[in-house]
Amino acid sequence: MNHVKATILVVEDEQYIARVLETLLTADGYRVISAQNGAMARSHAFSHMPDVVLLDLGLPDIDGIQLLRELREQINLPVIVVSARNMEQDKVAALDNGADDYITKPFSAPELLARIRAVLRRRTTVAEGPANVYTVGGFSIDFDKRVVTVDGQPVRLTQVEYRIVELIARQPGKVLTYSHIINHIWGPYADAENNRILRVNMSNIRRKIEKDRMAPQYILTEIGIGYRMAEKT
């Protein structure tokens, strides 16, 4: 008998796409539960407690963002939005309301499976407790000592720069929107001008930790949305 990796709740009202997802995920060793609308999604989420939710935003009975918000408020389940909506504001809204990732249709099977694996890895890390040291490539951050090194050499960061790097490194692979970072670093009443301040700080950070600021290896940009830390390979 094949070992089931994890349980995935697929919330998708288009039957063809739902069948494609079920076939793909089952073949890769996942147990799949399907829901065609928000009401079914709520019921399955509470009764089955899946490891990951794949959520389409265009549901017949509720807007996907509202459902995402409800799931985040009531249960702590990783959610990957899989949607045909490809506007930046849609991605930002989903990520700001708790989505762990956002994939636009049409998507490739390898990309979707990789995103699922990444979310499951992050969930395992959180369940085990926060890591004291995060390392990817030549970059390392010791959260206890508040020390950042690149290729073994310490990097001098300002207090704000360190807080930005720590925030992003705590959730490698997860996109943190500009507004999320701004609210966390400068507070909920920060004005829009802080978007420029964030970009200036990120430019300074990359000058200190990246070999090539124009082709960063560690802190990656999701254009128009935010930043994410590279994951361990």
Amino acid at 228: R
Which sequence spans correspond to the domains of the chain? 7-128, 133-229
Pairing of strands 153-155, 176-177: unpaired
**Quick check: helix, strand or coil at residue 136?**
strand
> Per-residue confidence of the chain (233 residues) as pLDDT tens digits?
455 689 999 999 999 999 999 999 999 999 999 999 999 999 999 888 899 999 999 999 999 999 998 888 777 788 999 999 888 889 999 998 889 999 999 899 999 999 999 888 877 665 555 568 889 999 999 998 899 999 999 999 998 999 999 999 988 888 999 988 988 888 766 765 568 889 999 999 999 999 998 899 999 999 889 999 998 75
Starting at the edge strand that comes first in sequence, how are the strands of the sheet with 133-136 ordered?
Answer: 133-136, 139-142, 147-150, 153-155
**Quick check: helix, strand or coil at residue 24?**
helix
- What is the Cα–Cα distance from 182 to 197, expressed in whole angstroms? 9
- What is the Cα–Cα distance from 117 to 16, expressed in whole angstroms? 24
Domain 133-229 matching CATH 3.40.50.11810: the answer reads no
Using alpha carbons, select from 63, 65, 18, 70 the residue that is nearest to residue 45: 70
* Matching fold, domains 7-128 and 133-229: no
Please, what CATH class does the domain formed by 7-128 belong to?
alpha beta
